[in-house]
Amino acid sequence: MSGSRHGARILLVSAMASGQGKTTVTAALARKLARQGRRVRVFKTGPDFLDPMLLQRACGAPVQSLDLWMVGLERSRRLLAEAAAQADAILIEGVMGLYDGTPSSADLAREFGVPVLAVLDASAMAQTAGAVVRGLRDYGPVQLAGVVANRVGSERHAQMVAEAMRDIPLLGTLPRQEQSLPERHLGLVQPDEVDGLDGVLDALADQLVFDADAWEALPVATLATLATLGAAEPEPAAPALLQGRTIAIARDAAFAFLYPANLDCLHSLGAKLVYFSPLADEAVPEQADAVYLPGGYPELHASSLAGAARWKRSMRQAHSDGLPIYAECGGMMALADSLTDMSGAAHAMCGLLPGHVTMQKRLAALGAHAWQRQEGELRGHAFHYSRMETELEPLARTVKHPTGQAGEAIYRKGSLTASYFHAYFPSCPQAAASLFLPEAAA
């Protein structure tokens, strides 16, 4: 069923709030369509690392971010156009509730004329589902393709929900799950940590009752129709600012929060990327000209990182040698003097950044941020449950979007730049490149 030459059917999967089952339904539908022989591409709205990992396992293709602010309108258009040229089915998982955020998932759907599939947790309602869904459709309004009722108790329950929808079709149902996707404080557990995940995804696809005729009735987005939105414009070539430079990137269960687009951006800037595992006590590769420590879950592996003497020595040596080091969120936490985990146990970290990190049960920061650099504005986000106590004065601060309030501190110590801020490199490739050049340490 490879109709990619003719375009793709597109749905934005959203809901009234977080916790309704958007990711579960998107994963189930992606796996179901893929098993039917369709080429499926999935996007995630807004900043997120964990949902895309799961959705990639569900559809078998990399999952990129799609967002009118962080990714930008023009790049979002190009990504959609590229997907329409390669796939038969495109699913866009929304963020939070349909109208939450500035811009919201509804704004994205309206910008590109994408029909919305509303996911509704029907476990504690029946006829009221009709009122909720009509409100979702009319408040914006948005083009509502239909509804998937999640956590349905019986066929009769599903029938009551369907009758309450009136003129809105119930496109699918998913029963209450005996085995839900496991979560922790930052969201879903990483796919590689879940035994039998593919079996869980297959079971979800089997249990998802979805109206195949309704899917076939969806409009097809073609390159021609997307081109009317400017989607056919090629992306400007990035200057080869990192040509000949090798960037060593920490990548394991403790440092896994990486936008695929960040890696693509570094490649396009000319960099060679090599990977190493601090958890496995691997040293920074000798050929490295710069080091990138992304975010992740260092707090879950603090004991192992504390004992990774070889890795610690290599980081200190890289810093002493003046290699540019860029550390985001979890990467910064691992470079502090110590990290106190959720149990209250303190662990000695690298000690490159003077200060102490303490985990807390309450969310410390969540939202979109921008970092104004000499080369331009880097956009991204912050999301963390820890606090950093340091006497080091910030080099700069991010700005929260859309309020304009002061955001996360950016710290600089020698050749090390560190912050809780997660940058989306394609938002300003020149600024991203500067983080890995010797001048960044000036």
Catalytic positions, written as ranges = 329
Q: What is the rounded distance in angstroms from the CA atom of residue 378 to the CA atom of residue 336?
A: 24
Q: What is the rounded distance in angstroms from the CA atom of residue 425 to the CA atom of residue 246?
A: 17
Q: What is the rounded distance in angstroms from the CA atom of residue 260 to the CA atom of residue 5?
A: 25
CB count in 10 Å sphere of residue 309? 9
How far is C-alpha 270 from the geometric centre of its chain's CA atoms?
24
CB count in 10 Å sphere of residue 198? 12
Task: Supply the DSSP string of 75-125, one letter for each residue.
Answer: HHHHHHHHHHHH-SEEEEE--SSTT-TTTTHHHHHHHHTPPEEEEEE-TT-
CB-side neighbour CA atoms (13 Å) of 136: 31
SS (H, E, C) 177-211: CCCCCCEECCEECCHHHCCCHHHHHHHHHHHCEEC
Residue 188 phi, psi (nearest 5):
-65, 150
CB-side neighbour CA atoms (13 Å) of 296: 25
CB count in 10 Å sphere of residue 291? 25
Task: Supply the DSSP string of 256-323, one letter for each residue.
Answer: -B--HHHHHHHHHTT-EEEEE-TTTTPPPPTT-SEEEE-BS-GGGSHHHHHT-HHHHHHHHHHHHTT-
Residue 22 phi, psi (nearest 5):
-60, -50
Query: Which H or E run includes 136?
Result: helix 128-139
Q: Provide the residue type at 16 as one letter.
A: M
Six-digit token string for 221 = 């987005």
Q: Which residues contact 80 (CB under 8 A, 6 or more apart)?
A: 10, 43, 66, 90, 112, 221, 226, 231
Burial of 381 (0-12, 13-18, 19+ CB in 10 A): buried
